[in-house]
Amino acid sequence: MRKTIFLLVCIATTTGIQLAQASGDEVSKPIPEATRFITEHRAMFNGKSLEYTATAGETYISDEKGEPKASIFTFAYVKKNVSANEVRPVTFVWNGGPGSASVWLHMGTFGPTRVSVPSDAGHAGLPPYPTVEATETILDVTDLVFVDPVGTGFSRPLGGHEGKEFWGLNEDAESLAEFIRTWVTENGRWNSPRFLLGESYGTTRGAVIAKIMEGDFLMSLNGIIFVSQALDYQGSSPYIRDNIIAHITYLPTMSAAAWYHNKVNPRPESLEAFLEDSRAFATDELLPALFKGNTIDAATREQVRDRLAYFTGLSPEYVERANLRVQGRRFAKELLREEGLAIGLLDARYTSDDIDDLDSDPAGDAANYAISSAFNATFMNYIRNDLNVDWDRTYLTSGDAELSDQWRYRTVADGKSYEPMFVNTARDLSVALRTNPSLKVMVASGYYDLVTPFFDAEYTMNRHDIRADQIEYTYYGGGHMMYVNEPARLQLLHDTRAFIQQQIGE
């Protein structure tokens, strides 16, 4: 059992630095010393006893004048008493959104304590929710730093700086790359093996950060772990009717959901073999049919329609009315319509009973309804009672209220010509991998993820000039957060540990 054996709390001082605002005429509010809460622990991980320090605290990143511009709050778990010849990596972990704190990866699987939710896609129910020690997590092979970007968790802009300076595709990645460089410098870890681990939009930013680190910062990475990758948004935008690519990339996930809910007739015994057939149909039959449009002959169209009905578990009549274009959100509502249920988007194993059974789209997300309160409640309890975080600042699990509306995907300066396009950071990853040919990426995907489908991960990584030998794919019987399924959680940790050991030569 983990024991807290030492506590040191550093409370922010009431006196601090006075910074001028951007105008130079007014004085911004004082910036106190960074706040940090430090505890020491002992626990068993992967069968090994480990003493470690948990630091929940701020790291300040600076502007061009060398003055603090933002506080990045992290939860860092660092092994104590490292021997002189021990290779101890550090892995930087974040979630996505944009606008999500790191609660999900932290409390779901990679932190030393986790929430226990039903593995069979059942609702987590009422509090109190059970928490258990995550003895299978990867602290035995790497230090872990869970990162909350500006506007999430406890992370905030400082002085005269505003949140919108950090809320954008490039702005966000640049601030976190600056954080990593600062943290590595302050903690004397420049020669430690380094890994990035992001989920969902966290993979979007991870690709940009990798490019910055391998290029401008000269900070080579040992590996990147993408959980539910989202680099090229064309393949994960199923609600745009004329986006042919998404109709292809989403089909195998729809097939997985139909198989899970017993809507495939006849139902193959092997899910994996069925998904191989779905991939082949999507690329060899559905894609040419959609490309040909109204020039396709009637017999071929009818054959594709019936095959698409089989692989989605929907009726041929529905597929015909959809003109062979089954959109992802509509699928989530249609698959179990006769039962009056909608399936989850984050995880198609979950179901919810919407009020409006005639709507074309789900009212919300069944998976989100089922687990979010449990994650939030147990995390807040854990950081207060185990990490002794006692602060009057509000922890923003879902981000600042203004973040989403002000998020900037534009990649060129205002005033320059810019034609909107799907977000795509796969090119940034490609540059990073070309810069560092020894760098490899582990891509972890859930079969039931209707937000970032596993076939889109394959489609994205298999182009953009990315070498196949630098990518490793892993698959799990869960959804976007595959780790809420216990067998998938254990396999994800096993695969991640093996990947890290491989990339540090163990």
Please tell me the predicted confidence (pLDDT) of residue 414.
85
pLDDT digits (tens, 9 = 90+) for 76-94: 999 999 988 898 999 999 9
Q: What is the mean pLDDT of residues 319-335?
A: 97
pLDDT digits (tens, 9 = 90+) for 363-420: 999 999 999 999 999 999 999 999 999 999 999 999 888 999 999 998 888 888 888 8
204-210-214 Cα angle (round to 5) = 160
* Same domain for 310 and 328: yes
239 lies in some domain: no
* Same domain for 295 and 202: no
User: By the 8 A CB rule, do 327 and 248 touch?
Assistant: no
238 lies in some domain: no
Asked whether residue 310 carries a pLDDT value surpassing 70, the answer given is yes
pTM for the predicted model, two decimal places: 0.93
Q: How many distinct structural domains can be found in the chain?
A: 2
Asked whether residue 12 carries a pLDDT value surpassing 80, the answer given is no
* Same domain for 61 and 111: yes
pLDDT digits (tens, 9 = 90+) for 202-233: 999 999 999 999 999 999 999 999 999 999 99
381 lies in some domain: yes
- At residue 270, the 3 state secondary structure works out as coil
Instruction: In whole angstroms, give the CA distance from residue 121 to residue 119.
Output: 6
Please tell me the predicted confidence (pLDDT) of residue 21.
39
* Same domain for 472 and 453: yes
* Same domain for 448 and 308: no
Please tell me the predicted confidence (pLDDT) of residue 18.
40
69 lies in some domain: yes
Please tell me the predicted confidence (pLDDT) of residue 201.
97
pLDDT band at 28 (very low <50, low <70, confident <90, very high): low
* Same domain for 159 and 112: yes
416 lies in some domain: no
DSSP 8-state class, residue 344: -
* Same domain for 330 and 274: yes
pLDDT digits (tens, 9 = 90+) for 246-269: 999 999 999 999 999 999 999 999
* Same domain for 113 and 11: yes
Instruction: In whole angstroms, give the CA distance from residue 328 to residue 253.
Output: 9
Burial 326-354 (b: 16+ CB within 10 A, else e): bbbbbbbbbbbeeeebbbbbbbbbbbbeb
Tokens encoding 123: 């609702």
* Same domain for 218 and 250: no
Expressed in angstroms, the distance from the first to the final Cα of the chain is 28
7 lies in some domain: yes
Sign of the alpha-carbon dihedral angle for 432, 434, 436, 440: positive
In terms of residue numbers, what domain contains 274? Answer: 244-367
* Same domain for 485 and 348: no
415 lies in some domain: no
Supply the angle between the helices 271-281 and 251-260 in degrees, to the nearest 10.
Answer: 150
Average pLDDT of the chain?
93
* Same domain for 16 and 47: yes
Instruction: In whole angstroms, give the CA distance from residue 234 to residue 247.
Output: 10
Distances from the Cα of 222 to the Cα of 442, 500, 504, angstroms = 11, 8, 7
Q: What is the mean pLDDT of residues 106-125?
A: 97
* Same domain for 205 and 91: yes
Tokens encoding 394: 């509000």
Instruction: Say which CATH number the domain at 192 has.
Output: 3.40.50.1820
Burial 53-91 (b: 16+ CB within 10 A, else e): bbbbbbbbbebeeebbbbbbbbbbbbbeeeeeeeeebbb
Instruction: In whole angstroms, give the CA distance from residue 460 to residue 364.
Output: 27
Asked whether residue 8 carries a pLDDT value surpassing 50, the answer given is no
Helices vs. strands in the chain: H and E counts, helices first? 15, 15
Please tell me the predicted confidence (pLDDT) of residue 27.
53
Question: How many C-beta atoms surround the C-beta of residue 49 within 10 A?
Answer: 9
414 lies in some domain: no
| Percentage of the chain lying above the pLDDT 70 cut | 94
Q: What is the mean pLDDT of residues 15-30?
A: 46
| Percentage of the chain lying above the pLDDT 90 cut | 87
Please tell me the predicted confidence (pLDDT) of residue 115.
97
Kindly tell me the burial class for residue 484, based on how many C-beta atoms sit within 10 Å of its own C-beta (0-12, 13-18, 19 or more).
Answer: buried
